[in-house]
Chain A
Amino acid sequence: MRKKIGVFVCHCGINIAGTVDVKRVAHELSEFPGVSYAVDYVYMCSDPGQNLIIETIRDKKLDGVVVACCSPNLHESTFRRAAQSAGLNAFECEIANIREQCSWVHKEKEKATDKAIKITRGIVEKLRWNEPLQPIKVPVTKRALIIGGGIAGIQAALDLANSDIEVVLVERNPSIGGHMIQLSETFPTLDCSQCILTPKMVEVSKHPKIKLYTYSEVQEVSGYVGNFQVKILKKPRYVDPDKCTLCDECTQICPVVVPNEFDLGLTGRKAIYIPFPQAIPATYTLDIEACPGILPIACGKCWDVCEPHAINFDMKPEVVEEKVGTIVVATGYDLYDKKYMAEYGYGKYPDVLDGLQFERLLSASGPTRGKILRPSDHKEPKEIVFIQCAGSRDPELHNKYCSKICCMYTAKHAKLYKHHVPDGQAYVFYIDIRAGGKGYEEFVTRTMEDEGVLYLRGKVSKVFEENGKLVVWGVDTLAGQDIEIRADMVVLAMAIRPSSGAEKLAKILKAAQDTDGFFAEAHPKLRPVESLTAGIFLAGVAQAPKDIPDTVAQAGGAAIKVMSILSQPELLHSPLVAQVNEPLCTGCGMCIEVCPFTALTLKEGKAEVNEVLCEGCGTCAATCLRSAIEVRNLTHLQVHDMLSVCLGGLK
Chain B
Amino acid sequence: MNSEHEPRIVAFLCKWCSSAGSDMAGVSRLEYPPNVIPITVMCSGSVSPLYILSAFNLGADGVLVSGCHPGDCHYIKGNMYARRRMALLKELLPYIGLEPERFQMSWVSAAEGLKFTQIIKEFVEQLKPLGPQTQLRRYL
Contacts and interface: CB of A to CB of B under 8 A. Distances in A.
Interface of A: 71-73, 97, 99-102, 104-108, 111-112, 114-115, 118-119, 122, 510, 512, 515, 532, 576, 594, 596-597, 615-619, 621-623, 627, 631, 634, 636, 639-640, 642-644, 646-650
Contacts of A617: 42-43, 45-46, 74-75, 78
A621 B46 contact: yes
Contacts of B81: 594, 619, 622-623
A640 B76 CA distance: 26
Contacts of B73: 596
16 contacts: A73-B23, A97-B40, A100-B22, A106-B32, A112-B34, A119-B37, A576-B42, A594-B45, A597-B75, A615-B75, A618-B45, A619-B78, A636-B50, A647-B10, A647-B58, A648-B8
Give the contact-size bracket for chain B: 35 or more
Nearest to A616: B42
Given A619-B78, A622-B81, A647-B55, 13 more contacts: A71-B23, A97-B38, A105-B25, A115-B37, A576-B42, A594-B45, A594-B81, A597-B76, A617-B78, A622-B47, A636-B48, A639-B54, A643-B55
B87 interface: no
A105 B32 contact: yes
A619 B46 contact: yes
B27 A100 contact: yes
B10 A634 contact: no
A627 B74 CA distance: 23
B77 interface: yes
B8 A647 contact: yes
Given A97-B38, A100-B22, A105-B26, A618 B43 contact: yes
A226 B22 CA distance: 34
Nearest to B38: A101
Interface in B28-54: 29-34, 37-43, 45-51, 54
Interface in B66-88: 71, 73-78, 81-82, 85
A111 B58 CA distance: 20
Given A621-B46, A622-B45, A101 B85 contact: no
Nearest to A71: B23
Given A621-B46, A622-B85, A104 B27 contact: yes
A596 B37 contact: no
Contacts of A649: 58-59
A607 to B, nearest CB: 16
Contacts, number: 134
Given A634-B41, A644-B58, A532 B78 contact: no
B51 A643 contact: yes
B79 to A, nearest CB: 9
Nearest to A510: B76
Nearest to A524: B111
A119 B40 CA distance: 11
Nearest to B11: A101
Contacts of A639: 39, 41, 51, 54
A622 B48 contact: yes
B34, B39, B51, B75 — which one has the most chain A CB atoms within 10 A of its CB? B34
A442 to B, nearest CB: 34
Contacts of A107: 31
A106 B39 contact: no
A73 B27 CA distance: 13
Given A105-B26, A615-B75, A647 B59 contact: yes
A623 B59 CA distance: 24
B140 to A, nearest CB: 6
A115 B42 contact: no
Nearest to A106: B34
A646 B26 CA distance: 20
Contacts of B55: 643, 647
B117 interface: yes
Nearest to A520: B72
B50 to A, nearest CB: 7
A621 B23 CA distance: 26
B20 interface: yes
Nearest to A615: B75
Contacts of B42: 576, 616-618, 631, 634
Contact of A648 (B29, B51, B59, B75): B59
B23, B37, B54 — which one has the most chain A CB atoms within 10 A of its CB? B37
A648 B54 CA distance: 14
A643 B54 contact: yes
Contacts of B27: 100, 104
B48 A621 contact: yes
Contact of A114 (B34, B46, B49, B85): B34
Contacts of A515: 71
B127 interface: no
A631 B26 CA distance: 28
Given A101-B23, A647-B58, A596 B78 contact: yes
